[in-house]
Chain A
């Protein structure tokens, strides 16, 4: 159960409607790579179902086997074509290679009486040889694939006809048979027609080669951008050469099976197959621009073409009309391919943000004379600057035992300020990503949440090591959420377990504020145990969990939920272990980091203050949805992340006092603060400085490291 709904009251149906949004599902679906061939796949299934309904004896095992046998050869040719298209080229000669291989196999087997094994090798070698010619011209001579293979097509066609004249009469009379030859042509492998079974094996191997191996990646890279591939050190010429060799071999394999199955050397064998294969490949969703496609997609397309043509023939359509249908389908498929490739990003963007309902009670007063603990004052305006204009966006800050001040920056660095007045600035570690929340562990290693990377550690000597960058994958989530996208803040329990929050799994560091418009429970609280190196998601479905702080007694973890304006306490020890309860709710602003104070309470940074307008909008997801659809992003209403404050709570969750900078001249957004030896240090996500204010009533010796791990000599 989500912690999100506990504070929400409203119609159950309405709440459910916004929690389980179909649009959300759709937007995540569209973002998946494997969804690209969804339309062709549906078309394929639809066609098969349709023809099973309208033609007699279609959905029978015998017919399926017969269709499979007839399909297999076209499948080989389609894969051959697909490889070259993925490499950014095209192979128009596949049909002619197919025909030549068919003729060659028949001549070798029937007239030269070669053993079947030799026939197979020789036929495939012919295909590879022609592929090598294409590949040499296209790869090394850099001719254009379309024209080059067009020429090979013409020349091969003529060769086939020429040889056909020689051999067609003796072939028509020859009648050699052999067991292996028959297995190739009309045999069975595990209830599958032999050619289909071998096509299946080739397809699976090809699929893994293309999508999971280095040569496959090289091929795809060349198709995407030849220039980039060359600059990345890929040997473009050789890979292209091999691609065409492979294409020729596959087409020849198709011809070999065709020969074994039909023993026919007709001069129109394979005519127009290049066009069908091209149609198939495009239909299946292999992009003509290159670099996008898989073997599976080519086969889906090939099945569509085959089933369509076969079905129309069965239904007695005039042949000219079946080719018309093929043309129309091709045109529509390419049209959609082009338009989809162009607009997919836009479409996903339009529907990706899915607001849900968040109902907050009226905000407590923050006016100076309002009488609440949140009453506005000017205490932060008295802050001293540290590293003014030397630091970009110190989201979190922390001090070590030597009173040195650390902060993460926009550049992906951890800076360290030292000296009596922190005038000495040095880059402590260059982690990368976006360093956010920090904590020191027992051994004085600095544990850092890095947005976009995960949880990292830096030893006192400045050596960076990875703690964890993934957790277990949620079973029912479409988006793979095992990788950490936006680790936000961490703290460390007495047993050494690092508790950290991941603010959202749907947005990145640069778009985290969109999560605020959405208001959905996209975040989680995660625990990493350094002893076992196990990472465990403790609470999923938290609404933008932000600051994390282990309570003074080490028996519970406090964490903030920014968009719900609530702080929760999650028990990790004692009778309530595993339970989550509200620590403080209905805050006047959006809580960010949370840290201990010297008097046994907690400091909370509020990154922005709520406004009645946005609270109202949060109650009406449809309004936000329309806003996203109809307005440009710079006119959207966002949560107010403009002016913040610092609030102190006691152990029971009661707000005690607050500190403000009303004009926002020094500390507009406050994302963190750290008490250290009588001073309160202040950081801000967008700030150009770190500030500190004197805490007159605080224990001047108290510091975080001692409070967590005890004093060290």
Chain B
């Protein structure tokens, strides 16, 4: 992430105001740094290269999912079915591998399933005009149920032992850097370029900032919505593949976990506001770094999983309140799913 164009500027709005006010992702980065210093001083074994790599590795998948989610959130959407999409599409890929497919073909097929799901989500949101919140809530059920019943053999799908090559993206290393972190970096770079350097990315910001204005200026908002959800689902599938490769299995039960809330947490935390049109890849990375540092520190302290969740909740609440202060919105006209 050497691209130094500050992400907020890509929103093309309020640049002057933003320069005066410290942005949310900067706050988050500062907090992360303070926290890391605190942990380094108090916890033995925190400030080692090995632990920092483990830290990034452990939140890499969360980061990838966060970046996937940020694409739709910037476009003023939300994809609650992201985890279901991820689980079903990657489990499908694994199952194909079990049935003797080569990993590139299987991964492509899984990706295809994910993109199809994304397009359907986008279609329902854009053309049937059902709010994103409820569309993806419902399609989450549908994807899980239909995938579990018609696509997959069991709740848990295993990576066949012969898929060693594929397992690299979850278990391998390059120059000592774990493969999931490399995948995260590639995804981050790709989405950053997409959002800040390409026309379609600017359109996504325009869409999230003001749908009606975007439509009036001639942006094909409806196809754009479908594209956003397709990108989101595809990246989600990639996260699923990484997850499957690192544990050599994927468990559909993950759909019922609180992972989706964690994803929203890292997205909102870094400053990708749910009102749309704000934040960027860097924001998600900042949020992910904060959560990763927190979780890592608490795991070293051997804190109970539930206490970790409570702390996470408190952090998110603080983020919401700060978000409200930094981006005061007209809550009087706000609607469900905004």
Chain A residues packing against B (C-beta within 8 Å):
85, 88, 90, 137, 141-144, 146-148, 150-155, 157-159, 161-162, 165, 225-227, 230, 271-272, 275, 278, 282, 288-290, 318, 320-328, 330-331, 334-335, 338-339, 342
Cβ-based interface call for B49 (8 A): no
Which one of A157, A158, A282 contacts B134 once the chains associate, using CB atoms below 8 Å?
A: A282
**Quick one: which of A151, A334, A339 contacts B317, CB cutoff 8 A?**
A151
The listed residue with most B CB atoms (<10 A of its CB), out of A85, A323, A324, A330, is A324
Whose C-beta in chain B lies nearest to the C-beta of A145? B336
Which of B64-72, B142-150, B185-193 contacts the other chain? B142-150
| Residues on A with beta carbons closer than 8 Å to the beta carbon of B331 | 142, 144, 226
In the bound complex, CA of A376 to CA of B179 (Å)? 98
Given contacts A148-B317, A324-B146, contact A158 B137 (CB under 8 A): no
A457 to chain B, nearest CB (A): 43
Residues of A within 8 A of B124 (CB): 331, 335
Measured CB to CB, the nearest residue on chain B to A92 is: B261
A-B contact pairs, 19 of them (CB 8 A): A146-B274, A151-B316, A151-B317, A154-B258, A154-B316, A157-B258, A158-B306, A159-B310, A162-B306, A320-B148, A323-B145, A327-B141, A327-B142, A330-B134, A330-B137, A330-B138, A330-B141, A331-B142, A338-B128
Q: Which residues of A have CB within 8 Å of B333?
A: 226-227
Residues on A with beta carbons closer than 8 Å to the beta carbon of B142: 324, 327-328, 331
Closest Cβ neighbor of B315 among chain A residues: A151
- The verdict on B320 contacting chain A, using a C-beta distance below 8 Å, is yes
Count of A-B residue pairs with CB < 8 Å: 145
Q: How far is the CA of A148 from the CA of B256 in the complex (A)?
A: 20
Taking the closest CB of chain A, its distance from the CB of B126, in whole angstroms, is 12
Given A323-B144, A327-B139, A334-B131, residue A141 in contact with residue B261 (CB < 8 A):
no
Chain B residues with Cβ below 8 Å from A275 are: 137
Q: How far does the alpha carbon of A480 sit from the alpha carbon of B221 in the complex, in Å?
A: 44
Residue of A nearest to B146 (CB): A324
Identify B324's interface contact among A143, A146, A328, CB under 8 A.
Answer: A143
Say how far B222's CB is from chain A's closest CB, in angstroms.
Answer: 15
The answer to the question of B183 belonging to the interface, with a C-beta cut-off of 8 Å to chain A, is no
Are B324 and A142 touching (Cβ within 8 A)?
Answer: yes
Q: How far is the CB of B267 from chain A (nearest CB, A)?
A: 11
Q: Is the interface of B mostly helix, strand, loop or mixed?
A: helix
Q: Which A residues are in CB contact (< 8 Å) with B20?
A: none
Contacting pair B144 A324 (CB below 8 A): yes
A147 to B268, Cβ gap below 8 A? yes
| Bound CA–CA A289/B129 (angstroms) | 13
Q: Could you mark each residue 286-311 of chain B with 1 if its beta carbon is under 8 Å from any beta carbon of chain A, else 0? A: 00000000000000000011111110
**Which chain B positions have C-beta within 8 A of A147?**
264, 268, 274, 316, 320
Chain B interface residues toward A at CB < 8 A = 124, 128-131, 133-135, 137-142, 144-146, 148-149, 256, 258, 261, 264, 268, 274, 304-310, 312-314, 316-317, 320-321, 324, 331-338
A624–B290 CA distance with the chains assembled, in angstroms: 69
B112 to chain A, nearest CB (A): 21
Query: How far is it, in angstroms, between the C-alpha of A161 and the C-alpha of B306 when the chains are bound?
Result: 7
Q: How far is the CB of A313 from chain B (nearest CB, A)?
A: 14
Find chain A residues with CB under 8 A from B337 CB.
146, 288
Contact A289 B312 (CB under 8 A): no
Q: Which residues of B contact A288 (CB under 8 A)?
A: 131, 134, 336-337
Further contacts, 7 of them, CB under 8 A, given A158-B306, A225-B332, A322-B145: A152-B313, A161-B306, A320-B144, A320-B145, A321-B149, A324-B145, A335-B124
Whole-angstrom distance between the Cβ of A152 and the nearest chain B Cβ: 8
Residue contact A144 to B149, C-beta cutoff 8 Å: no
Across the two chains, which residue of chain B brings its CB closest to A154?
B313
The CB with the most chain A CB atoms within 10 A, among B138, B312, B334, B335, is that of B138
Residues of B within 8 A of A90 (CB): 336
Residues in A neighbouring B258, C-beta threshold 8 A: 154, 157
| A338: B residues at CB distance < 8 A | 128-131
User: In the bound complex, what is the Cα–Cα distance between A226 and B333 (angstroms)?
Assistant: 7
How far in angstroms is the closest Cβ of chain B from A465? 41
Q: A143-B321, A143-B324 are in contact. Are A289 and B141 (CB under 8 A)?
A: no
Contact B334 A334 (CB under 8 A): no
Determine whether the beta carbon of B135 is less than 8 Å from that of A334: yes
Q: Once bound together, how far apart are the Cα atoms of A326 and B142, in whole Å?
A: 8
Bound Cα distance from A290 to B333, whole angstroms: 11
Across the interface, name the chain A residue whose C-beta is closest to B314: A155
- Sorted from nearest, which 4 A-B pairs have the closest CB atoms? A327-B141, A324-B145, A158-B309, A155-B313
**How far is the CB of B25 from the nearest CB of chain A, in Å?**
18
Known A90-B336, A146-B337, A157-B258: A331·B149 in contact at CB below 8 Å: no
Q: Are A154 and B312 in contact (CB under 8 A)?
A: yes
Q: Which residues of A contact B149 (CB under 8 A)?
A: 318, 320-321, 324
In the assembled complex, the Cα of A44 lies from the Cα of B135 at a distance in Å of 22
B134 near A144: Cβ-Cβ < 8 Å:
no
Report B-chain residues with C-beta under 8 Å of the C-beta of A148.
317, 320
In the complex, the chain B residue whose C-beta lies closest to that of A156 is: B313
Chain A residues in 8 Å Cβ range of B144: 320, 323-324
Task: Check B141 against A323 for contact (C-beta < 8 Å).
Answer: yes
Contact A331 B309, CB 8 Å, known A141-B324, A154-B261, A320-B148: no
A168 and B43 alpha carbons, distance in the complex (Å): 32
Q: Complex Cα distance A335/B125, Å?
A: 10
Given the known inter-chain contacts A158-B306, A320-B148, A338-B128, please indicate yes or no for A230 contacting B138, CB distance below 8 A.
Answer: no
Q: What residues of A have a CB within 8 angstroms of the CB of B128 in the complex?
A: 335, 338-339
Q: Which of A144, A227, A324 meets B320, CB within 8 Å? A: A144
Contacts of A154 in B (CB 8 A): 258, 261, 309, 312-313, 316
Smallest beta-carbon distance B252→chain A, Å: 8
Q: How far is the CA of A144 from the CA of B306 in the complex (A)?
A: 24
**Complex interface: chain A residues within 8 A of B316 (CB):** 147, 150-151, 154
